[in-house]
Amino acid sequence: MADDDSHTTDDGGIGSTPGFRTEPTERSLTEDGSNQGLFDDLLSGEPIFENKEVLRPSYTPHELPHRSDQINKMATILVSALRGETPSNILIYGKTGTGKTASAKFVSQELEQTSSKYSVPCEVEYINCEVTDTQYRVLAQLANKFIEKNHEWIDERVDELESLRERVDETDIDSPADESPESSQSVDVVGSPPETEGVDDESDPASQRAERDEEPTVQFQEETDVEADETPTQSDSVVETTGDELRQSTHPLAETPFDSVSDVSERIDELEADRESFEEVPMTGWPTDRVYSVFFDAVDYSERVVVIMLDEIDKLVEKSGDDTLYNLSRMNSELDNSRVSIMGISNDLKFTDFLDPRVKSSLGEEEIVFPPYDANQLRDILQHRAEVAFKDGALSPDVIPLCAAFAAQEHGDARRALDLLRTAGELAERSQTETIVEDHVRQAQDKIELDRVVEVVRTLPTQSKLVLFSIILLEQNGVHSINTGEVYNIYKRLCTELDTDVLTQRRVTDLISELDMLGIVNAVVVSKGRYGRTKEISLSVPLEETEVVLRSDSRLSDIDDVQPFVQARFDN
């Protein structure tokens, strides 16, 4: 029995799975006897990064090199919002990675900070239309944002009014409810003189008026002076009841639009009723006109200027047409309190060609074009970010020029350059080296390219995946210079095996052209002389990695090895 217990303990402790052995104790303990975790060795190395987030696309820097002209132009257009006026709508064009979104966010942050500084109600709302790509979702997201802001404003206002009401109540409690006859008489003297007792009705009226005008006034002055010295609270009560001019200098309701506590309570009830009236919009289920109505009421609840930033605006137009832009660009004519301006950001210079002429005229009031960066400009951007992102001495001199050169080859994409520099740093950190060198940049270039291919292949439609899988099977079986007919033969057999609809050969040819456009395959039209023209197809991406991505699709994972049938060819 003792042997059995000892054996159980050696295998990982009482209650562990029989036959499962843990790592030896010597590898699980450090020199001081503490447990050695999985990440301890990785954390033992000196980190290269000081702030890695600076190299991510989501980061908005405090300075944007080589974009001052575009930023200044945006600022001159939007400055009218700080004057309470409606800014012109802006359309921003440029290829990927040219600083459009970063510049627009930078200007928006400056605008909101300045509006807060001068207490001007101005807000900027950002929406990524690649994610929020329908009219319903755009309006619902905007409506819910402004409902949330309205709730915050109402809560703050109610707190202020409740505090005011409490101070009024405290003031009324401190003031005595019943005043002494002397003070009461004194107040009456100021308001309307009381009748004098013991005066003969037959006495001279002039002398009576003199007595009423002189003696009681002197008595009032004396009593007031005495009471002011002895009981200040009674003096405060007198001041409160002697007219608006004195009341405004001491009472909590002074310099407010309210005349009484009941007015304050009534306003609090109105605000709480407004708060209850704002109903959050669900992401699905409502008619679009109802969502628009809720958004309209929410944005027009208080006085403000709103700039709606629509990033990837061409995706919204492509998915749901220009109805959203039409409604947003025309709503200023119906708003009473607020003003709305649109800032659209697009990679497509021609997307406005598909807009309604009325939308196009109102939306494109101002246009700003962001040109691609050249290699020298990319070098400045990377140098500016690297000073914050990396520790001193972490970069060899040739790293930033090489990253800039690689990115400049792809239409000056700053985002690609930053990703390249960040990935090179991560590879160096994983290898536990202290300096990033040129070799790390080249490895990062290959890794990013592979990651891009994996993402593109993973998101392909099923029919395109079957066509690509057919090309992979042909190359795996030693077929070179693949033609469309050979791809189509394999494609039909795969469709039969998966019980999928078979497209025509003409449609498969179009799918091959799309794969060529994505850079996954290389399709070249060659002439065969008397035999006509054909496409010669070859794979442009790593074969094994691409096959793994395709087989990760549940529908393609069960495909058995298909031996391609290759027709006889007479090749020169």
- Give which of 370, 341, 343 is closest to 64, Cα–Cα: 370
Cα separation, 214 vs 67, whole angstroms: 81
Task: Classify strands 521-527 and 533-539 as parallel, antiparallel or unpaired.
Answer: antiparallel
Known binder of ligand: residue 532? no
Contact 129, 316 (CB under 8 A): yes
The two three-digit tokens of residue 22, written as one number: 């843990």
Which range among 64-68, 339-343, 424-428, 516-520 shows the weakest confidence by mean pLDDT? 516-520
Contact 246, 239 (CB under 8 A): yes
The two three-digit tokens of residue 303, written as one number: 């006085």
pLDDT of residue 403: 92
Known binder of ligand: residue 290? no
Cα separation, 426 vs 444, whole angstroms: 9
| The most confident of 103-107, 495-499, 530-534, 561-565, by mean pLDDT | 103-107
pLDDT of residue 180: 42
User: Is 495 domain-assigned?
Assistant: yes
Q: Are residues 187 and 245 in the same domain?
A: yes
The two three-digit tokens of residue 506, written as one number: 């003409």
Res. 184 pLDDT band, cuts 50 70 90: very low
Which CATH number does the domain housing residue 73 bear? Answer: 3.40.50.300
Q: Are residues 478 and 388 in the same domain?
A: no
Q: Are residues 511 and 565 in the same domain?
A: yes
Q: Are residues 93 and 206 in the same domain?
A: no
The two three-digit tokens of residue 550, written as one number: 């395709």
Q: Are residues 354 and 392 in the same domain?
A: no
The chain-wide mean pLDDT, for the chain, equals 79
CA dihedral (242, 248, 254, 258) positive or negative: positive
Domain's final residue, options 315, 340, 366: 366
pLDDT of residue 360: 83
Contact 481, 569 (CB under 8 A): no
Known binder of ligand: residue 350? no
Res. 424 pLDDT band, cuts 50 70 90: very high
**Number of neighbours of residue 348 by Cβ within 10 angstroms:** 16
Span 518-570, pLDDT tens digits: 888 888 887 777 777 778 898 888 888 888 888 888 888 777 655 555 554 44
Quote the domain boundaries for residue 485. 460-570
Q: Are residues 413 and 499 in the same domain?
A: no
Cα separation, 175 vs 237, whole angstroms: 6
Res. 25 pLDDT band, cuts 50 70 90: very low
For the chain, state the CA radius of gyration: 39
Q: Are residues 26 and 74 in the same domain?
A: no
Cα separation, 104 vs 71, whole angstroms: 8
Cα separation, 246 vs 248, whole angstroms: 6
For 72-95, give one letter per residue: b (16+ CB within 10 A) or e.
Answer: ebbeebbeebbeeebbebbbbbbb
Q: Are residues 561 and 509 in the same domain?
A: yes
Known binder of ligand: residue 99? yes
pLDDT of residue 249: 53
Residues in the chain: 572
pLDDT of residue 532: 74
Q: Are residues 323 and 260 in the same domain?
A: no
Known binder of ligand: residue 98? yes
Span 291-350, pLDDT tens digits: 999 999 999 999 999 999 999 998 898 888 888 998 898 899 899 999 999 999 998 888
Q: Are residues 197 and 222 in the same domain?
A: yes
Task: Classify strands 90-94 and 366-370 as parallel, antiparallel or unpaired.
Answer: parallel
Q: Are residues 252 and 202 in the same domain?
A: yes
Q: What are phi and psi of 17, to 5 degrees?
A: -70, 130
User: Is 299 domain-assigned?
Assistant: no
